[in-house]
Amino acid sequence: MQIAQNSVVAFHYTLTNNEGEVLDSSEGREPLTYLHGSGNIIPGLEKELEGHAAGEKLNVQVAPEEGYGEIQEQLMQEVPRDAFQGVESVEPGMQFQAQTQGGPLMVTVKKVEGDTVVVDGNHPLAGQHLNFDVEIAEVREASEEEVEHGHVHGEGDEEQH
């Protein structure tokens, strides 16, 4: 069976950036399983997997606009250090959930300068070209319930996320 709209796909992957640095991998874990066509994985990868079948291996390059988007400068902001009440030491790399007009947003501390903290609300992989080495483990038809819910269910109807 080939990957198409409303098929359940399980695949192993290794994700690297253009410098060859491994960013993520399913090695040593269960394959990533998703419902094709429901927006459960980044658009560029989903588009490239279409039409392939179990057992196939492929290399997929995804540009930022089809991955986690371009870097949006307006999501980088300077905030006062006292906005982090109850946090003893704020350091670059720390992540916090900020409340914004659009709802909760994960932000990463980029730098701390005196009483000012620079935070970035972009996805950590925004602006990067992503390279996936993929091995498709399984392709099957989705159940009516999976299609209705927009995601894959595990054995015993437990939802997988």
- Tell whether 78 and 108 lie within a shared domain: yes
**102 or 89, which is more confident?**
89
At 154, is the pLDDT very low, low, confident or very high (cuts 50, 70, 90)?
confident
Quote the domain boundaries for residue 99: 73-120
Q: Are residues 17 and 56 in the same domain?
A: yes
Domain count, the chain: 2
User: Which CATH number goes with the domain that contains 138?
Assistant: 3.10.50.40
Domain contains 2? no
- Which domain CATH number covers 81? 2.40.10.330
pLDDT higher than threshold 50 for residue 110: yes
**Of the candidates 43, 40, 4, 42, the residue with the CA atom closest to the CA atom of residue 151:** 40
- Helices then strands, each counted (H, E), the chain: 2, 9
Q: Are residues 91 and 108 in the same domain?
A: yes
With beta carbons less than 8 A apart as the criterion, state whether 153 and 145 touch. yes
Contacts of residue 87, defined as CB under 8 A and 6 or more positions apart, other chains included, come to none
For residue 73, give the DSSP letter.
Answer: G
Q: Which of 49-58, 87-96, 147-156 has the lowest mean pLDDT?
A: 147-156
Q: What is the mean pLDDT of the chain?
A: 92
Entry pTM: 0.81
pLDDT at position 155 is 59
Averaged over 61-76, what is the pLDDT?
A: 96
> Residue 135 falls within a domain, yes or no?
yes
Indicate if the alpha-carbon torsion angle 46, 51, 54, 56 is positive or negative. Answer: negative
- Burial class for 46, CB neighbours closer than 10 Å (0-12, 13-18, 19+): buried
pLDDT value at 136 more than 50: yes
Summarised one tens digit per residue, pLDDT across range 2-54 is 999 999 999 999 999 999 999 999 999 999 999 999 999 999 999 999 999 99
Q: What percent of the chain has pLDDT over 90?
A: 85
Residues 115 and 135 in one domain: no
What residue ranges in the chain does DSSP mark as E strands?
Answer: 7-16, 22-25, 32-35, 57-62, 76-80, 95-100, 103-113, 116-120, 130-141
- 21 & 98 share domain: no
Q: What is the mean pLDDT of residues 124-133?
A: 96
Contact by Cβ (8 Å): 46, 5: no
Give the amino acid at 57.
Answer: K
